[in-house]
Amino acid sequence: MSVTNVISEIKKDFIYNLLLKGERIDGRTFDQYREISIQRDVIRKAEGSALVKMGSSQVLVGVKMQPGEPFPDTPNKGVIITNAELVPLASPSFEPGPPNEVGIELARVVDRGVRESKAVDLEKLCIVPGKQVWIIFIDVHILDDCGNILDAASLGAIAALLSTKVPAARFGLGEDYVLPIRDIPIATTAIEFNDVLMFDPGVDEEAIANTRLTIISTAQGNICGSQKSGAGMLKPEQIYRIIDIACEKAREIREKFLEA
């Protein structure tokens, strides 16, 4: 949710009136996603990359890898570090500076999807046990916030990982090889407004909604992450309804774009 996206009273009323008639501003149905496109390998210098467009939202995710020290409590496991830059170029409400709570939340939810689905086998990223492992940096760079950048970022992360080549040669660790990925977690987000649930919210829809729920599901249809965001409330029935649609949407997106 864009934290300081101020929407004029005029636009708010306009959207609200449409909602009462069962319509969305762009004519979509309530569970319909905008047009999605994914371009992989767009940044040569990165080990993996993907540019995701969801409607007019645009998110670029780059994956960089380098050898480094493991965390002391997991001496034989590789490390994943996920960061999101909500750069001021992408929205009039993004300010320059280190990530604020919105950016941090976005990065951590994207990370959750990758980590909890075990898409990357961290033990396979061990180079010298206890001393050297592969560090994977997933860097989300928002280019155009037209709503639901979380789903776009999450999709970008897994798409970038799927196209990542481990740069072993550069560090004298053998030949480059494709990073093995074991699952394809997909995040799907719905907002709730006046008891109406809307998936893939546009930027104006986000600005009027109190509550947002993101569900991250795996290729098996299990849930590996979820996040309720915003200062509103959800009833359990609403949550289960969202989960049903979310998993179905995730399956559609996974099949259409990311299965080989």
Instruction: List, in order, residues 6 or more apart from 13 with CB less than 8 Å away.
Output: none
Provide the token pair at 227: 């996040």
Contact between 26 and another protein by CB under 8 A: the answer reads: no
Residue 157 DSSP class: H
When binding is defined by CB under 8 A, the residue of 13, 69, 121, 123 that contacts another protein is: 13
Look up tokens 């994943």; give the residue.
80
Look up residue 44 and give its amino acid.
R
Contact between 98 and another protein by CB under 8 A: the answer reads: yes
Contact between 72 and another protein by CB under 8 A: the answer reads: no
Residue 77: enclosing H or E segment and its boundaries?
A: none
Distance from chain centroid for Cα 234: 22
The contact pattern for another protein, residues 204-233, with x = CB under 8 A and - = no contact, is ------------------------------
Contact between 154 and another protein by CB under 8 A: the answer reads: no
Rounded least distance, CB 27 to another protein, Å: 11
When binding is defined by CB under 8 A, the residue of 89, 128, 178, 233 that contacts another protein is: 89
When binding is defined by CB under 8 A, the residue of 104, 143, 173, 245 that contacts another protein is: 143
Q: Distance between CA atoms of 57 and 64, rounded to whole angstroms?
A: 23
Q: Distance between CA atoms of 224 and 118, rounded to whole angstroms?
A: 9
When binding is defined by CB under 8 A, the residue of 79, 87, 223, 243 that contacts another protein is: 87
Contact between 40 and another protein by CB under 8 A: the answer reads: no
Residue 199 region by backbone torsions, left for phi larger than 0, else alpha for psi between -120 and 50, else beta: beta
Look up residue 249 and give its amino acid.
K
Interface residue list for another protein (CB under 8 A): 8-11, 13-14, 17, 42-46, 49, 56, 58, 60, 62-64, 66, 83, 85, 87-92, 96, 98, 137, 139, 141, 143-146, 203
